[in-house]
Chain A
Amino acid sequence: MARIRSDVTEADVRDWCCQYLARALKLSPGRIDHQATFSRLGLDSAESLFLVAALEDWSGLELASDIAFEHPSVSDLARYVIGRFDESRGSGASA
């Protein structure tokens, strides 16, 4: 597992998600509504697993397969990921 990023903000995570979704769904990043559910953007279950895998690679966090269902929009997912970063910093596990 890659090193956990410790220097990113919630906005960075949102930007990353938008860039990823824009590539995956062939949309322009500026047109992705942060509040829209992933399924509304047209992400199917296989694509959501690819998103989780890419997010793991980028963040260094270990993530459950269903986080895109539990946190189904760009803003929800970014908030969750930042929470996980805070936990890992708190526990000192990021070293």
Chain B
Amino acid sequence: MTRGLFQSGSQPSLNSLVELLARRAAEHGDRQAFVFLPEGGNAQTTLTFAELDRRARALAARLLQTASPGDRAVLLFLPGLEFVVAFFGCLAAGIIAVPLMPPRRTAARDTSAAIIADCAPRLALTSAEVAATRPDVIERFHRDLAWVVVDAMEDGDIPGVALPSPGRDDIALLQYTSGSTSLPKGVMVGHGNLLANFEMLRVALRNTARSTSVGWVPLYHDMGLMMQVMQPLYVGAQSVLMAPAAFMRRPLQWLRAISTFRAEVTSAPNFAYDLCVTRFRPELMAGIDLSSCRIAMNAAEPVRADTIARFAATFAPYGFAADAMYPAYGLAEATLLVSGGVRGDGATTRAVSRASLKRGRAGAPTLAGDAQTIVGCGHVVAGQRAAIVDPESLRPLPARTIGEIWASGRNIAQGYWRNPAATEATFRARIAGDGAVWLRTGDLGFLDDGGMLYVTGRIKDLIIIRGVNHYPEDIERTVQNAHPALRRDWGAAFAVADDQGVEKLVLVQEIERTHRKNLDLDEIVARIREAVATEHEIAVHDIALIRPATLPKTTSGKVQRQLARQLWTEGRLERA
């Protein structure tokens, strides 16, 4: 094959994303790299590969006037192309990018302060829009951060500063999706990790420079950043970005954008596919043709068989091919992707016995009521290995046996920022008789006889709602701070599946003995709801206030969340 305009094979000689962007700019600089679709009738904004390269380098030179390579910069942006310029500006300067979710106006305490304390950034990058409409964001953070306002649409002068050439081992970004609010953990993702995972993705998705993608997942989320910004650049494809709020308000606009841009690739957590079905109205679908979509990645939260079936049935009349549904599994510690399907195969489901799952096996169902349909998350992608390991004995387990999912490959990130103990425990695991270093994902699952990966649960009590990870300790602390009558360290937060199978938050919390008389329980419940909605953006499904000393704890005093969940499910809690 000749290296033509649309040549988009592997990029083996690259050392960094900076070289990748320069190569894209040199090969087809005038082609549109990014499009942002604003809400309402405002005109869309665009960046070509050459514009992005030029503006990123101009910004890099500016940044190096106040910071040095290896310094950190937090990125606080509203949806738009400024983030993209800022991100590549950091990389071109050798400055480590730290994408952050802008804190909500009303949140008293959120994770961003702890992240800033953890990574000690020199710079904070933002846009004129944030400065004008959200001055509280700038107010909130240390005044000693140097703020830089990024304009995506203007070509700045390039000051005469020599830019560094990052190598494969240099850290490109810190991804802070792991760790609780009080103890955030920044995953150190190197240029080599990124390039390795994008090549794995390219082979798995078989996407090319013609494979336009459309997405609305926030760019501070690993799936948004990798699937909507960097992987399209890796293959030289156009990426069309929408604001997350635009999708939440008008989910079908996502499908309309796929149709308008003849997009081939999109990705979203499972809830998004459900939301499209819930909000489906034929009159809003006029003219939409989804036949261009060949990869609809479904990842970042448990993938559900009925979601896939309902989405495919609802949108088949609009050209959506059921075999485009692409369940996948990954995590920030693996850069993004661990496993994914074969393009064009669609989702694989398997009926397993609920009873055997509880015993750690994926046996065939014996009785009708015992069957549970689970979705396969594809095979481990080429270039990576996965193993199912007993989390206690650290021995590998045979097929159809549930254990912890471990992964190994050049995509596995370097560790957690300045946290050698957590890095050692999570990133440096060993299997007896195997020379490789393994990542412990903390997720539970099994491989079938053909090597298909099924994810069945989590070792930790992590709660995942709408693709966002929540740590129960954080939510429990918020609950206990909501009212003086609530006992410290005597509450449990956990997720339960509602009748649709969607994960919902349930809180069990003890009342202080001294406060039991004359309590307005409705008032306490309202305060808890308010605090949890404000601090964690979750609507609580149920709050059970219980009598003192009735919450199950271990003999060492640890809250037994799974047991509390079981008591709640069976209606056996001693409610106050």
Contact = CB atoms under 8 A, between A and B. Distances in A.
Contacts of A37: 530
Contacts of B532: 42
B539 interface: yes
A53 B245 CA distance: 10
A39 B534 contact: yes
B540 A42 contact: yes
B248 A50 contact: yes
Contact of B248 (A39, A46, A56): A46
Contacts of B428: none
Contacts of B529: 39-42
A53 B106 contact: no
Contact of B105 (A49, A52, A62, A69): A69
B40 interface: yes
A39 B530 contact: yes
Most buried by B among A25, A38, A53, A69: A53
A42 B44 CA distance: 35
B538 interface: yes
B31 interface: no
B324 to A, nearest CB: 26
A65 B105 CA distance: 13
A18 to B, nearest CB: 16
A47 B249 contact: no
Contacts of A56: 249
Interface string B519-547: 00000001101101110011110000000
Contact of A53 (B249, B526, B540): B249
Interface in B46-70: none
A82 interface: no
Contacts of B539: 25, 42-44, 47
Interface in B242-295: 245-246, 248-250
B245 A65 contact: yes
A45 interface: yes
A36 interface: yes
A46 B466 CA distance: 9
A3 to B, nearest CB: 14
B533 A44 contact: yes
Contacts of B106: 39, 69
Most buried by B among A44, A47, A49, A65: A44
Most buried by A among B533, B534, B538: B533
Nearest to A47: B539
A43 to B, nearest CB: 6
A38 B248 CA distance: 18
B530 A40 contact: yes
Nearest to B528: A42
B60 to A, nearest CB: 32
Given A53-B250, A62-B40, A65-B39, A44 B245 contact: no
A43 B529 CA distance: 8
A52 B249 contact: yes
Nearest to B536: A44
B23 interface: no
B487 interface: no
B104 interface: yes
Interface string B535-575: 00111100000000000000000000000000000000000
A41 B529 CA distance: 7
Nearest to B105: A69
A36 B182 CA distance: 30
Given A40-B526, A69-B105, A69-B106, A49 B537 contact: no
B245 to A, nearest CB: 5
A25 B530 CA distance: 13
Contacts of A38: 533
Contacts of A53: 248-250
A81 B250 CA distance: 20
Nearest to B39: A65
A38 B529 CA distance: 10
B537 A46 contact: yes
B538 A50 contact: no
Given A39-B106, A40-B526, A49 B533 contact: no
A69 B40 CA distance: 19
Interface in B67-119: 104-106
Nearest to B525: A42
Contacts of B39: 65
B538 A44 contact: yes
Interface in A21-55: 25, 36-47, 49-50, 52-53
Nearest to A70: B105
A52 B537 CA distance: 16
Nearest to A41: B529
Interface string B428-472: 000000000000000000000000000000000000001000000
B537 A65 contact: no
B530 A50 contact: no
Nearest to A33: B526
Contacts of A47: 539
B129 to A, nearest CB: 13
B250 A36 contact: no
13 contacts: A42-B529, A42-B530, A42-B539, A42-B540, A43-B539, A44-B538, A45-B104, A46-B537, A49-B248, A49-B249, A65-B245, A69-B105, A69-B106
Interface of B: 39-40, 104-106, 245-246, 248-250, 466, 526-527, 529-530, 532-534, 537-540
Given A37-B530, A39-B530, 19 more contacts: A36-B526, A40-B527, A40-B529, A40-B530, A42-B529, A42-B530, A42-B539, A43-B533, A44-B533, A44-B539, A45-B537, A46-B248, A47-B539, A50-B248, A50-B249, A53-B249, A53-B250, A65-B245, A65-B246
The 10 A-B residue pairs whose C-beta atoms are closest, nearest first, are A42-B529, A40-B530, A49-B248, A53-B249, A39-B533, A44-B539, A65-B245, A44-B537, A45-B537, A39-B534
